[in-house]
Copies of this chain bind each other. A is one copy, B any other.
Amino acid sequence: MDKRYLRSIRLLSECMQLFEQASARKVRQFGLTHSQFDIIATLGNTPGMTCKELGERTLMTKGTLTGVLDRLEEKRLIQRERGADDRRQLFVRLSNSGEQTFAEVFPQVVENGKQRFTSYTADDYQTLEDALLKLKQHLEQDQR
């Protein structure tokens, strides 16, 4: 089973690389890094969230997050507000300009990939989703 496992993993990695390569190009055209786009995409369509939650969702450690948020704040794409109830917390949300960027970049990154899927049928999607969902469930199994 070794070979099959390796082949699947290699395929998964190749697909991801292809997708990221294309989307990274788009993202960079807007002067954003992958991490910065990750934050913006996570904050998009939300009322904002704490740094803690943002870190958990994007898998960045708090120290890293501070730096990325600093750069986004310099670009006036996000705002940080001290929490009203728990004053240790910072609430991070997109600024108006950030919302605008999200509304502009996100669909383009998506569209950029989507163009290639005009020939995908409902069945094709279903098969892909089923296979990936099963894979995900296996990958999620906890390990020491």
Contacts and interface: CB of A to CB of B under 8 A. Distances in A.
A84 interface: no
Q: Among the interface residues A11, A13, A131, which one has the most CB atoms of the partner chain B within 10 A?
A: A131
Copies in the complex: 2
A45 B91 CA distance: 50
Interface stretch (A46-54, A68-76, A94-102, A122-130): A122-130
A105 to B, nearest CB: 15
A61 interface: no
Interface string A76-97: 0000000000000000000000
Contact of A138 (B9, B12, B116): B116
A117 B22 CA distance: 30
Interface of A: 1-2, 4-9, 11-19, 21-22, 59, 110, 112-117, 119-120, 122, 124-125, 127-136, 138-141, 143
Given A1-B114, A11-B132, 13 more contacts: A5-B125, A8-B129, A8-B132, A9-B110, A11-B136, A14-B136, A16-B16, A22-B139, A116-B138, A116-B141, A116-B143, A124-B134, A128-B135
